[in-house]
Structures are given as C-alpha cells and as structure tokens.
Amino acid sequence: MTYQKALECLSDPTRRSVFEKLRSGPKSVGVLAKGLPVSRPAVSQHLKALKEAGLVTDRADGTRRIYYIDPHGLGEMRRWLDGFWDEALAAFKDQAELVNQAHRKK
C-alpha cells in the first residue's frame, strides 16, 4: 500500500545514488555523502525520506549512524510490479495479435 512512497523516493537521482550505494553494504552518513555532489545535510534529508518509505533502516554506532537497506519497501514495490507484469504482458499480447490481424486484412 506504500509502494507509492517508495516510487516517489526513488524517482530522485540523488536519492537513488544514496540507495544504490547501500547495495554493497551498510554505510555511515559521512561515507554516503563522500563522493556525492551534494552536501551532507542533503544526504541526511534524503535518508530521512528513504527511511519513511521503508527503504532503509538505521542503527546507532557511537556518534555515527549506520544505514542499510530495508527489504520491506523493496518488497512492496516488487509485489505491485509483479501484479502489473502478468496482467500487462497478457494484454500486450492480445494487442499485438489485433494489430497483426488488421495488418493481414490489407
């Protein structure tokens, strides 16, 4: 029901970069910000959004915060997408056949 939030979150290129950096494992905010063309506070804000969308979780480590991917949000998107996929594929095949028939009639 919240695949919407996940989609909106991942539509931003910077946020996607942050998220994809976490693909190789948990990272602190500072590490995530390093290498990105935006400031550290910006990354913090993106992480907040990602967290609210259920895409990441965090854990304290002294004065650091370690972020890592949360499969929850990803799972919601996957379910939504899979449901679409089957239905859409079938509809598309019907469509292709219709076009073919029309073509043949010429």
User: Is the CB of 11 or the CB of 101 nearer to DNA?
Assistant: 11
Site for DNA in 39-68 (CB under 7 A): 39-42, 44-49, 58, 60, 62-65
C-beta of 41: minimal distance to its own copies in Å?
23
State the binding partner of 39 from DNA, its own copies, none, CB within 5 to 8 A by kind. DNA
The token pair that represents 5 in the structure block: 């939030």
Give the per-residue SS3 of the chain.
Answer: CCHHHHHHHHCCHHHHHHHHHHHHCCEEHHHHHCCCCCCHHHHHHHHHHHHHCCCEEEEEECCEEEEEECHHHHHHHHHHHHHHHHHHHHHHHHHHHHHHHHHHHC
User: Is the CB of 48 or the CB of 79 nearer to DNA?
Assistant: 48
30 contacts DNA (rule: CB under 7 A): yes
68 contacts its own copies (rule: CB under 8 A): yes
100 contacts its own copies (rule: CB under 8 A): no
